[in-house]
Amino acid sequence: MCGIVGYTGPQRAAPILVGGLRRLEYRGYDSAGLATVEEDRLILRKRAGRVRALEELVEEQPAPGGAGISHTRWATHGPASDRNAHPHLGGRGGEWRVAVVHNGVIENHSALRRELESQGFAFASQTDTEVIAHLIARELESTTDLFEAVRRILQRLEGTYGLGVVAPEHPGEIIGARFGSPLVVGLGEGEHFLASDPVAIAPHTARVAYLQDGEVVRLTPDHFEMRHLEHGPITPRIDRLDWKPDAVELGGHAHYMIKEIFEQPETVVDACRGRLRRGEATAVFGGLNLTDRQLRRIRRIVFAACGTSWHAALVGEYLIERLAHLPVEVEYASEFRYRNAPMDDRTLVFVLSQSGETADTLGALREARRRGHLTLAIVNTVGSSIARESEGGIYLHAGPEVGVASTKAFSAQVAVLAMLALYLGRLRHLSFPDGLAVVEAIDSAPALIGEALQSEPEVERAADRIAGVRNALYLGRDIHFPVALEGALKLKEISYIHAEGYPTAEMKHGPIALVDRETPCIFVAPRGSLHAKTLSNVEEVRARHGMVLAVGTRGDSTLAERADIFLPIPEAPEVIQPLLAVVPLQLLAYHVALRRGCDIDKPRNLAKSVTVE
């Protein structure tokens, strides 16, 4: 969940490291630090707080050198402080032989710490990472090869790690290692980069190589080599980032979240590009690696995901059951991997993850494969662990998403799941005319999302009304229940208002006890087959003097008259309504958080890519 950036080359490392950390700050922002090597000197700068605090420190106390590593932290062991900030130094007797940055958790750090303390190594922090630095320093007492020293100590570590290592005796050299926490190498001309996310290095290079578990890399300005801990030297696959040059820049927007909300029409276009087939009234996917015959044999689908991806999977459940008549279950990935859920050989497992590195989802993928089930993935990041370890899958093509609160990735997932439902339906009973109607609906979604974004002025007025509340209820029926859950999550994540999502009809089975003028009930209620039922539930709230905020179809005067606040979206077929209905909820969360003075792109206690359990 933390961010790592490394650089070795002819330029000054510190500005590149700090710039990379700024782009990775969504992964952790409790503290930040860097270590550079100049000739045989190790220079350390670190400070609690945001990357800006580190930047100010480096301005006051420059860190020269053409090679270095850096880190922005999401705390696991020990609170945010200068002392606990990375990098951590290794050595004894005041002789610092190595600096280390680390993502992940070392589960046996207590035993290793006791062992090292008994040998004269003094600890300066409460972190698990410091044991790694001292272990490497101890190995450097018996070998002059930094790569070999790192390789040896990895055998002692239990848990997960993404490592960056530099040593003053090895100027110009960086060692990276990965097990369960992502690392990527950036390839330049006479320079190389190391990062936990390609976002950090995208402005410098488009050529990348992703490390896999058990792999170690040595970087110098002119060379890089990779080895597997068990299998020896390997030839890495070189990928190209296909992002637009400004994909990781704010582009004039105040926050990444609002930028990414407004990118959603283009995001859905990219997710659907080349996949809809009007002539066959279906969708096609090149990476499923399953034949139509194999897919017709499937009798059940299980989705495993976390957070926003879990909500998208719930939308997929409704769509697939409606269009393909296949039973679907949606599991929390963190629970699925530890359950002994009964599944037969006609069950297909899909895992969903924006980053492709979510630890719980990766664990669910591995558990499903261990049990022998067909396991596919829906991910955004090419070359990610989930993408590589699944038997096939679908890329979102959403581009980098920097805001911690996911928006455009959710829309890309829903669009992909709608196409998947169409494809599976056409393999079974769905008629050509019905399939064609779905194709046309999906094809119309980007323009309709653009229209939904025009509701921002109404959303801003709604935000003025509810910015001071302490609780909110989000309510939706059928396919809009997951949208209600997602809307509630967005409000919780960035404004810190307690919000819960429920199926609308469940309100009277408990939550209605919370209804009052200070607890808005936010109904997701576009016109559809159950609209009349939802209107009855709205009346139940009004009868108890509750505040009603409704997301509904433009021109729905019946709903608008019953709501204190009405947020319109365009008329649309039900199959794509979630893509439209979520837009005003995303905007509402953003503008409420703005009014409350919250740090929208970096909400407290959260990080973007959850790579620890």
Residue 427, C-beta contacts closer than 8 angstroms, at least 6 positions apart: 292, 295, 296, 324
* Residue labelled with tokens 């319109």: 568
Query: Quick one: pLDDT at residue 1?
Result: 58
Distance CA 388, CA 138 (A): 35
End of a domain among 395, 422, 452? 452
Residues 81 and 116 in one domain: yes
* Residue labelled with tokens 């505040």: 547
Residues 220 and 259 in one domain: no
Residues 137 and 186 in one domain: yes
First to last CA, the chain: 10
Query: Quick one: pLDDT at residue 401?
Result: 87
602 included as an active-site residue: no
Query: Quick one: pLDDT at residue 43?
Result: 95
Domain region containing 539: 454-613
* Residue labelled with tokens 């790192």: 150
Residues 96 and 203 in one domain: yes
Report whether 170 contacts 67 (CB < 8 A): no
Residues 293 and 198 in one domain: no
Token pair of 560 as six digits: 């608008």
Angle at the Cα of 218 from the Cα atoms of 215 and 220, rounded to 5 degrees = 155
* Residue labelled with tokens 């100027």: 171
Q: How many residues does the chain have?
A: 613
Distance CA 584, CA 264 (A): 12
Report whether 87 contacts 99 (CB < 8 A): yes
Report whether 208 contacts 187 (CB < 8 A): yes
Helix (H) or strand (E) holding 101: strand 95-103
Residues 384 and 498 in one domain: no
Residue from 2, 306, 521, 598 carrying the catalytic annotation: 2
pLDDT tens digits, residue range 131-187? 999 999 999 999 999 999 999 999 999 998 999 999 999 999 999 999 988 899 999
Distance CA 277, CA 284 (A): 7
- CATH code, domain with 188: 3.60.20.10
Residue 59, C-beta contacts closer than 8 angstroms, at least 6 positions apart: none
Q: Which of 402, 337, 42, 64 is nearest to 202 (CA)?
A: 402
Report whether 358 contacts 610 (CB < 8 A): yes
* Strand ranges across the sheet with 300-305: 328-332, 300-305, 347-353, 374-379, 393-395
Query: Quick one: pLDDT at residue 611?
Result: 53
Number of other residues whose CB lies within 10 A of the CB of residue 449: 27
Query: Quick one: pLDDT at residue 394?
Result: 94
Number of other residues whose CB lies within 10 A of the CB of residue 529: 10
Residues 556 and 604 in one domain: yes
Residues 467 and 567 in one domain: yes
Query: Quick one: pLDDT at residue 608?
Result: 57
Query: Quick one: pLDDT at residue 551?
Result: 96
For residue 2, what is the DSSP state? -
Residues 557 and 598 in one domain: yes
Q: What is the pTM of this model?
A: 0.83
Token pair of 38 as six digits: 């100049």
Query: Quick one: pLDDT at residue 240?
Result: 86
pLDDT tens digits, residue range 101-119? 999 889 999 999 999 999 9
For residue 123, what is the DSSP state? P
Residue from 259, 408, 602, 608 carrying the catalytic annotation: 608
- Chain mean position to CA 452: 25
End of a domain among 392, 421, 452? 452
Q: What does the radius of gyration of the chain's CA atoms come to, in whole angstroms?
A: 25
Q: Which residue stretches of the chain have pLDDT < 50?
A: none
Query: Quick one: pLDDT at residue 356?
Result: 85
* Residue labelled with tokens 């229209």: 451
For the chain, what percentages of helix, strand and coil (3-state, to nearest 5) are there? 40, 25, 35
Query: Quick one: pLDDT at residue 403?
Result: 85
Residues 291 and 428 in one domain: yes
End of a domain among 433, 452, 471? 452
Report how many domains make up the chain.
3
- CATH code, domain with 438: 3.40.50.10490
Residues 64 and 153 in one domain: yes
Residues 16 and 148 in one domain: yes
